[in-house]
Every structure is written in C-alpha cells, then in structure tokens.
Amino acid sequence: MAAMNDLAIRAAESTDLDNVLAFWKVAAEGTSISDDQDGIRRLIDRDPGALILAEHDGVLAGTVIAGFDGWRCHLYRLAVHPGRRRRGIGAALLAAAEERFTELGGRRGDAMVLDHNDLARHAWRAAGYAPEPQWSRWVKHLTR
C-alpha cells in the first residue's frame, strides 16, 4: 500500500453536501433513502464529526459515516473513488472513524455492508471486521 502524504482527513461541513452526493454516485454501491441534501444536512447538524472525508490533492477521494448514538458505533458509506483505491484511503478513513469512536467511549464498531458487494466485504475483512451471521437487518421506511 503506497503512502499518501498529501491525504487530508476532515469532518464534512454543510458546504460539502453537493460534492458528497456527486461522489457517492461514482464511488458508493447503491443508495439510501437519506442520500439527499436534507439527509446529509441533518447528519452534520446532529453529529458534526460523523461524516468523515478524505481529500487527496484537494479532491474528494473517500468518505465514511461514523455515527455514534451514545451506545453503539455504526459505520456507513465507506467509499473510495474507483481511481484511487488500494492506496490506503479506506484504511485512513477507518482509522479516523475508530479513533472518533474510542474518544466518544465506543467499544465496538459495526458496518452496514451489502451482501453482494464482494469488493466491500473483502475490504471490511482486511480491516478486521467480520459478519455476524446470527443478525439480520430489519428495516421500515418512515414517511411523513
């Protein structure tokens, strides 16, 4: 893995919304019901450090959402631009997320990973995460 000396890791700001949404269309597998400006804005307003960005040469290269609800540590949207993968960006983002969790008192991180996304499953395993086959995700979309 090549070192990226000019990699900057930082928390997202409200001015990053459009850039993040465009980035996810290129780099993230699938979409979520909250993948819109309002969803990201609420995340940043509620938990300003949760959306972590990696920038390489001033260009968005990766993201991860490191949400902590005071009890559990949840990881979402780990995405690295396809042209910049396998250079340590994902590892740097996960290290920042895990550091955030530790500072907040978190004790275990869990990740949402699509079952059919083999590339992501490999990356999460390489980072030390493992699936727990006894758990299934149950979802209900909420509307107003």
Q: What is the pLDDT of residues 75-134, one digit of tens each?
A: 999 999 999 999 999 999 999 999 999 999 999 999 988 888 898 899 999 999 999 989
Average pLDDT in the 15-25 region? 95
Query: Which pair of structure tokens corresponds to residue 52?
Result: 């972590």
Listed residue (59, 107, 42, 30) closest to 51, CA to CA: 42
Share of the chain above pLDDT 90, in %: 74
Alpha-helical regions (H) of the chain: 17-27, 37-46, 89-104, 118-126
Angle at 120 between CA 28 and CA 94, to 5 degrees: 85
- pLDDT higher than threshold 60 for residue 142: yes
All structural domains of the chain: 7-126 (3.40.630.30)
Give the model confidence (pLDDT) of 33-77 as tens digits.
Answer: 778 899 999 999 999 999 999 999 999 999 999 999 999 999 999
Residue with tokens 């000396």: 5
- Kindly report whether the global pTM for this prediction surpasses the value 0.95: no
Spatial distance between the Cα atoms of 83 and 123, rounded to a whole number of angstroms: 16
Query: What pLDDT score was predicted for residue 133?
Result: 87
